[in-house]
Amino acid sequence: MHGMTPIPAAGTPGGLSPWRAELTETIRLALPIALTQLGQVAMMTTDLALVGRLGGDAIAGAALAQVILFAAFVLGMGLVSAVAPLAAQSFGAREPRMVRRSLRVGLWAATLLGIPMTAGQLWGEELLLALGQEKQVAAFAAEYLRGLAWSLIPAWWFIAIRGFMGAVNRPEPALWITLAAVPANFAIAYVLIFGTFGAPELGILGAGVATTVVNLGMCAAALWVCYRQRPFKKYQVLGKFWRSDGHLMKQLIVVGAPMSGTFLLEYGLFGGAGLIVGLFGASALAAHQIALQIAAVLFMIPFGIAMAATVRVGQEAGRKNPEGARRAGFVAVGLSFAFMFVMTVVVMLGRNVAPLFFMDSYMKDVEQIVAIASWLLVLGSTFFVADGVQTAAAGALRGLNDTRVPLLFAGLSFWIVGFGALYLLAFPLKLGVTGVWIGFTIGLLVYAALLVWRFHALTARGYIPEAPKAEHVAHGKPLPAE
């Protein structure tokens, strides 16, 4: 089966040592995944840059709207992200039918969860006002959410399909789709925000509508590729879509629900911090959001490496190769650390220039926002590296279906240690936004250390999970093995 032969060891025709071969395979898989992630962040970044032309209150409103949306988004992202390890393990075990079923239950989970989550977004303004946010900023956030809320289900479907593509060693189509979506998103958002070419001037609502339209297009394009292109079309991804798969759905939930919980705890820390920073004024919140957006651009490469680690570790687990799984995980962690170290130096050199991308020079509060954002990027220099290490280690553990213990680690690291530290530093010690960012760093350092230790402990004793199994196998002509 193509893409399923073991990595050549030293002295084999492959000519590379196992560690160098694994590094090559990880980079080959991670690069298109990471670029896909960067493309998605580019869409968010261009949205923020366009919204920034509407003023500081609009940026702050967009920041708070994303807090509300991400609370729902990461809940479903954990479930659909479980498609990748389950499909990768099935691929490694040479079970193509189970690859398709892993994707199918992910699509069902996204749809069933997405209906109530979409409806909940429409109450964002009331929630923000109850949490003490400024009325004008909350109104901007509500307008943004009116257009943005409908993007949840198609975005989750795209993540599930992208996980399936990566699991069968073909992540490139998701990249091409995303690269096409970036300029499309900019053009649609520009037209709808400012009312050019005869379109209605929707303001911040237009940015949300543009995101929804583009996500629908990306989902449709991914499905088309799966039906028309090799090696995807042999899996017949929507074949027998209405058939229930209760046992496999339970497996998806067992693996994915703790991932959702972990994502919620992590993003909840940053979202809760955003609400706290909002109490220091719109300028502080705008600077905080700009600095986080720059950090998010950096984070996408390690996040792509983490997704590659999930696939590589999962495939080796499916082949019952614990040594290969351990090697794949530690290669990903080392690669992520090296990249984030280099990029942190780059950010330090450009910290006074990068925030200007999000601002217009004529805005009255531009100097204050840029000064705060620049200082926050200095404070973030340590947590950037820790964030890269933790996401790669978490991805490696997901390849082993180990998600429940990392959930406990996340609760300890992000909320007991991280949030406790940032609250103490921000208020009793009166460090304000500076204290918030120092708290980020402390929590992420603890989390990264715990995850690396956990992966080491599991793989040192040769732990391998069972490959996904359904309670029944459909009769009829089997899917061909490539």
Phi, psi of 359 (to 5 degrees): -130, 160
φ/ψ of 231, rounded to 5, equals -85, 10
Report the SS3 class of residue 58: helix
Q: Which of 108-112, 170-174, 366-370 has the lowest mean pLDDT?
A: 366-370
**8 within some domain:** no
Per residue in 49-64, pLDDT tens? 787 777 767 777 787 7
Residue 293, token pair as written in the block: 């957006």
Length in residues, the chain: 482
Within a 10 A sphere around the Cβ of 215, how many other Cβ atoms?
24
Euclidean distance between CA atoms 423 and 420, whole angstroms: 5
For the residues 149-171, what does the mean pLDDT come to? 89
Which residue type is seen at 268? G
Token digits for 453?
Answer: 């230790």
- Residue 348 pLDDT exceeds 60: yes
Please answer whether residues 274 and 289 qualify as being in contact, where contact means their C-beta atoms are separated by less than 8 angstroms: yes
Q: Rounded to a whole number, what is the largest CA-CA distance in the chain?
A: 69
pLDDT of 435-480, one tens digit each? 888 888 899 999 999 999 999 999 999 888 876 665 544 433 444 4
Q: How far apart are CA 421 and CA 438, in angstroms?
A: 8
Of 309-313, 349-353, 408-412, 448-452, the least confident = 349-353
The token pair at 413 is 């690291």
pLDDT recorded at residue 268: 77
Cis peptide preceding 154, ω within 30 of 0 = no
Give the whole-angstrom CA distance, residue 103 versus residue 105. 6
Q: Is 413 inside any structural domain?
A: yes
pLDDT for the residue 476: 39
336, 321, 338: which is closest to 459 by C-alpha?
321
Q: Is residue 482 assigned to a domain?
A: no
Comparing CA positions, the residue from 4, 88, 44 lying closest to residue 482 is 4
Distance CA 62, CA 292 (A): 13
Give the whole-angstrom CA distance, residue 204 versus residue 102.
Answer: 37
What single string gives the DSSP state of each residue in 396-464? HHHHTT--HHHHHHHIIIIIIIIIHHHHHHHTTT--THHHHHHHHHHHHHHHHHHHHHHHHHHHHTT--
CB atoms under 10 Å from CB of 293, counted, come to 23
Assess if residue 278 is contained within a domain: yes
Amino acid at 13: P
Report the pLDDT value the prediction gives residue 258, as an integer from 0 to 100. 94
- Give the pLDDT of residue 364: 60
Q: Give the C-alpha separation, 239 to 243, whole Å.
A: 9
Which residues have a Cβ under 8 Å from the Cβ of 11 and sit 6 or more positions away? none
Residue 196, in any domain of the structure: yes
Residue 8 has pLDDT above 60, yes or no: no
For CA atoms 138, 421, 259, 164, the dihedral sign is positive
* Residue 455 near residue 393 (C-beta atoms within 8 A): yes
Average pLDDT, stretch 317-337? 93
103's enclosing H/E stretch is helix 96-120
Angle between helices 96-120 and 246-278 (to 10 degrees): 40
299 within 8 A of 388, measured Cβ to Cβ: yes
pLDDT at 303 over 80: yes
Domain annotation covers residue 415: yes
Name the token pair of 243.
Answer: 């058939």
pLDDT at 125: 67
Close Cβ partners of 129 (under 8 Å, ≥ 6 residues apart) = 135, 138
Residue 473 lies in a domain: no
pLDDT at 470: 54
Within 10 Å of residue 343's Cβ, how many Cβ atoms? 18
The structure tokens listed for 448 are 């990264």
State the CB neighbour count (10 A cutoff) for residue 447. Answer: 29
Share of the chain above pLDDT 70, in %: 90
pLDDT of residue 312: 93
**Whether the predicted pLDDT of 481 surpasses 50:** no
Mean pLDDT rounded to a whole number for the chain? 82
Residue 467: which of 312, 308, 248 has the closest Cα?
Answer: 248
Does residue 369 lie in a domain region? yes
Residue of 293 and 81 predicted with greater confidence: 81
Model confidence at 5: pLDDT above 50: no
Name the domain count of the chain: 1
Please give the DSSP secondary-structure letter assigned to residue 233: G
pLDDT of residue 377: 84
Most confident of 211-220, 230-239, 341-350: 211-220
- Identify the top-confidence range among 222-231, 296-305, 396-405: 396-405
Domain that holds residue 261: 18-460
Q: Are 451 and 459 in contact (CB under 8 A)?
A: no
pLDDT attached to residue 12:
39
